Amino acid sequence: MADLPESGSNKNRQKKLWDNEDPKKGAGVHKKHGPFSFINPRQFNFSIWYFVVAFFLLTVANQYFVRPPEKSVDYSEFKSLVRSGKIKRVEMAERSLKGYPYTKQQAPAVGKKAGTDSAREGIYRTVPVADPQFTRMMDSTGVEYYAVPQSDGSWMGILVSWVLPFVIMILVWNLITRRMGKMGGGVMEFAQNKARLVAEGDVKTTFADVAGADEAKEELVEVVDFLKNPGKYTEIGGKIPKGVLLVGPPGTGKTLLARAVAGEAKVPFFRMSGADFVEMFVGVGAARVRDLFRQAKEKAPCIIFIDELDAIGKSRAPMAGGNDEREQTLNMLLVEMDGFDSRTGVILLAATNRPEVLDAALLRPGRFDRQVLVDKPDLKGREAILRIHSKDVHLDESVDLAVIARDTAGFAGADLANIVNEAALLAVRAGRAKVSQPDFMEAIEKTIAGLQKKGKLINPKERRIVAHHETGHALTALFTPGSDPVQKISIIPRGFSALGYTIQTPTEDRYLMTKDDLLGKIDVLLGGRAAEQIIFGEVSTGAANDIDKATDIVRRMLTDYGMSEKFGNMVLHSRKGPSFLGDTGPVSREYAESTQQYLDEQTAAIIGQRYRRVLALLTEKKLIIGKIAGILLEKETINESEFREMAGAPKAGA
Ligand code: ADP
Ligand code: ZN
Ligand code: MG
């Protein structure tokens, strides 16, 4: 029975993760899809500055090199210049008059400085006065004149009328093209960008690259076989699971395993991370899902692998106001999963380290109906993983991988790969050509400190408590008549809730339980805490889950199964009020207040009595507890036959 729930702080951390998404991933998403992500900042700056500078230079050039100097004059002087023939051409605007000392034909070529004498004298400029005589006078003297739309030619004018629209245009154009790229073109290009399609034979990873996950491998062998010979299964009419969910703590090799399945089956492998689907624009994630499945069907047989499924698969909020985009994406995923037949040869693999947050709809039959647990490796597994990763590392004779494996209890595969690398770096830093055992020891120490800080590793004292606690469960089960045999004891943390576990497998299917069976179950549940009490003289919070279960059984015996002395054969109903948004209403009982008190007292009495029995039993076995716990600390897992032998019990089945 899994027990020793993670400490309070860990729970909080998990709760936080739930609220905020994975911090690592969250950051990634944010960086990638910031509010202006559709404008690539570098490109954006480049294009704008390019135009601004070019325009500035042109204007300056125009002002100082091309155009002759302008001279402001009074209107009366301007008029007399026209009359005297000095001004041969007049440009009329609403708020300015310009007089050129040459006609259109004489005008200097653009870009060249005016060569004529008159040109060098420059242009006259004035502010017009309401003077209807003026045009008539120009007609009579034969001066060319024409009107232009308003432009006072000032810097501000140029800026407002020319540069600004230009800038705005560039901005808008930039925005539109990026957005289009995201919405339309992006989906087209997505095969290249987002789902890394590894063509047949390209996946080099095989099961040989994965160690210490034998149970998971066994389950996946069938998937590989199906992908290799789909006919074998479809002819018989058998159904292969559509979706396989790899569940396990981070760094245990889930991604590696998925890759290995593709490598073994030699089929294309589409890998996407859940975060890839969570886009800024509503509908894009859903479009990606659709496209992913469409492509996969074309390449069948193949594997779709959705890493970090929890990023899209989080349970949908009970109220409105959740993340619409994520919900749409999830819905599309569900639709696509229902829409394809595993006979098409597409297998969907997914990985998550937080299965508890997944939407229940994802786990229904026909979807991810098969779950494969990828646990942290045990002693042997760790040694094998170390061997794989140190294959290409030069080790000197002092290195003993078995010793390293022993000192790295609780490490995941990724941590071990990291240790090998770290040790190699230490050797290089010391100027040695080969890695030595002390390098490894130093690397382990560093990593342990880091992992403990992150709450991923339990300290040695806690491990001792867990070992004795689990042994207590197992021994109680062994010496409780009618109890299911112990199949496995382990102190490898199960990641999510348990620091250790004891698995009991029933020898046969059971639909009925006698009162003694129930009491036996309670005893086994209390065995963990009793062992702690006996060995350490104090109890820990590790038994919280056990106590919860034991209390529940006792309560049910009294209220549901009619097993109490006073109210035998009578059911004592208590109804929960209607639930509203996850909160349950007040509990209404169909019995007297005094009965409730009786129930509480009886519960306490039964549990107390059972606990005393277990204490007596285990005190007698104190030496055996110590012995088995010691072996457990060293080996981390003990199987059924080993356990029976150590406990001095007859062989199973005898
Ligand atoms: P997860 O997806 O479960 O978080 P990964 O598959 O990404 O873990 O593992 C990260 C790396 O750690 C792998 O690339 C591999 O080098 C190493 N690793 C993890 N588990 C194992 C294992 N069981 N056997 C060999 N290497 C492993
Ligand atoms: Zn327990
Ligand atoms: Mg992974």
Residues 11-58: pLDDT tens digits?
Answer: 333 333 333 333 333 333 333 333 333 444 444 445 566 667 777 777
* 591 contacts: CB under 8 Å, gap ≥ 6: 572, 573, 574
| CB of 211 shorter than 6 A to ligand 1 | yes
| CB of 418 shorter than 6 A to ligand 1 | no
- Please check whether residue 529 is in contact with residue 472, taking contact to mean a CB–CB distance below 8 angstroms: yes
| CB of 262 shorter than 6 A to ligand 1 | no
Average predicted confidence (pLDDT) for the chain: 79
CATH 1.20.58.760 for the 460-647 domain, yes or no? yes
* pLDDT score of 21: 35
* 74 contacts: CB under 8 Å, gap ≥ 6: 126
Q: How far apart are the first and last CA of the chain?
A: 25
Q: Is 601 a catalytic residue?
A: no
pLDDT in tens, 121-165: 678 888 888 887 888 888 888 888 888 876 555 666 667 667 777
Ligand 2 center to 629 CA (angstroms): 14
Quick one: pLDDT band at residue 580, thresholds 50, 70, 90?
low
| CB of 246 shorter than 6 A to ligand 1 | no
Which residue minimizes the CA distance to atom 5 of ligand 1? 253
pLDDT in tens, 509-548: 667 889 999 999 999 999 999 999 999 999 999 899 899 9
DSSP state of 435: B
User: Which ligand approaches the C-alpha of residue 491 most closely?
Assistant: 2
* 448 contacts: CB under 8 Å, gap ≥ 6: 457
* 623 contacts: CB under 8 Å, gap ≥ 6: none
pLDDT in tens, 539-577: 999 899 899 999 999 999 999 889 988 888 888 887 766
- Please check whether residue 543 is in contact with residue 499, taking contact to mean a CB–CB distance below 8 angstroms: no
Q: Where are the beta strands (DSSP E) in 560-621?
A: 574-580, 583-589
Over 90: is that where the pLDDT of 241 sits?
no
Quick one: pLDDT band at residue 184, thresholds 50, 70, 90?
very low
Ligand 3 center to 258 CA (angstroms): 9
| CB of 210 shorter than 6 A to ligand 1 | yes
Ligand 1 center to 158 CA (angstroms): 62
* pLDDT score of 467: 94
Percent of the chain with pLDDT over 70: 76
Q: Map residue 422 onto helix, strand or coil.
A: helix
Quick one: pLDDT band at residue 85, thresholds 50, 70, 90?
confident
pTM: 0.59
Pocket test for ligand 1, best of 256, 383, 388, 419 (most atoms within 8 A of CB): 256
β-strand partners of 243: 348
Ligand 3 center to 262 CA (angstroms): 15
* pLDDT score of 577: 64
* pLDDT score of 198: 54
Overall fold of domain 68-151: 3.30.720
Quick one: pLDDT band at residue 420, thresholds 50, 70, 90?
very high
Active-site hit among 219, 470, 636, 640: 470
Ligand 1 center to 250 CA (angstroms): 9
Quick one: pLDDT band at residue 209, thresholds 50, 70, 90?
very high
User: Which two three-digit tokens encode residue 68?
Assistant: 């002759």
Q: Among 448-462, 501-515, 600-614, which range has the highest average pLDDT?
A: 600-614
Spatial separation of the C-alpha atoms in residues 38 and 276, rounded to whole Å: 16
* pLDDT score of 44: 45
* pLDDT score of 281: 64
CATH 1.10.8.60 for the 379-448 domain, yes or no? yes
- Using a 10 angstrom Cβ sphere, with 0-12 exposed, 13-18 middle and 19 or more buried, the burial of residue 461 is exposed
Among candidates 529, 516, 520, which has minimal Cα distance to 471?
529
Which residue minimizes the CA distance to atom 12 of ligand 1? 414
Spatial separation of the C-alpha atoms in residues 327 and 343, rounded to whole Å: 28
Over 80: is that where the pLDDT of 100 sits?
yes
Ligand 1 center to 207 CA (angstroms): 12
Spatial separation of the C-alpha atoms in residues 334 and 345, rounded to whole Å: 18
* pLDDT score of 197: 53
**Which numbered atom of ligand 1 lies nearest the CA of 351?**
2
Over 50: is that where the pLDDT of 472 sits?
yes
* Residue bearing the bigger pLDDT, 264 or 505: 264
pLDDT in tens, 160-181: 667 777 888 888 887 776 665 5
| CB of 167 shorter than 6 A to ligand 1 | no
* Residue bearing the bigger pLDDT, 431 or 356: 431
**Which numbered atom of ligand 1 lies nearest the CA of 259?**
6
* pLDDT score of 651: 65
User: Which two three-digit tokens encode residue 195?
Assistant: 């789902």
* pLDDT score of 25: 36
Chain position carrying tokens 């479009």: 287
Overall fold of domain 196-373: Rossmann fold (3.40.50)
Helices (H), 21-86: 23-32, 41-61, 75-84
User: Which two three-digit tokens encode residue 358?
Assistant: 């997944």
* Residue-wise DSSP of 222-247: HHHHHHH-HHHHHHHT----SEEEEE
Over 80: is that where the pLDDT of 582 sits?
no
| CB of 618 shorter than 6 A to ligand 1 | no
User: Which ligand approaches the C-alpha of residue 471 most closely?
Assistant: 2
β-strand partners of 97: 92, 126
Which residue minimizes the CA distance to atom 15 of ligand 1? 414
| CB of 443 shorter than 6 A to ligand 1 | no
What Å distances lie between residue 533 and 465, 539, 544, CA to CA? Answer: 10, 5, 14
| CB of 212 shorter than 6 A to ligand 1 | yes
* pLDDT score of 289: 85
Over 80: is that where the pLDDT of 453 sits?
no
* 601 contacts: CB under 8 Å, gap ≥ 6: none
**Which numbered atom of ligand 1 lies nearest the CA of 250?**
4
pLDDT in tens, 378-417: 889 999 999 999 999 999 999 999 999 988 888 899 999 9
* pLDDT score of 208: 93
Spatial separation of the C-alpha atoms in residues 592 and 613, rounded to whole Å: 32
User: Which two three-digit tokens encode residue 138?
Assistant: 């120009």
Spatial separation of the C-alpha atoms in residues 209 and 199, rounded to whole Å: 20
pLDDT in tens, 302-339: 888 999 898 887 776 555 455 677 788 888 888 888 88
Ligand 2 center to 501 CA (angstroms): 7
Quick one: pLDDT band at residue 196, thresholds 50, 70, 90?
low
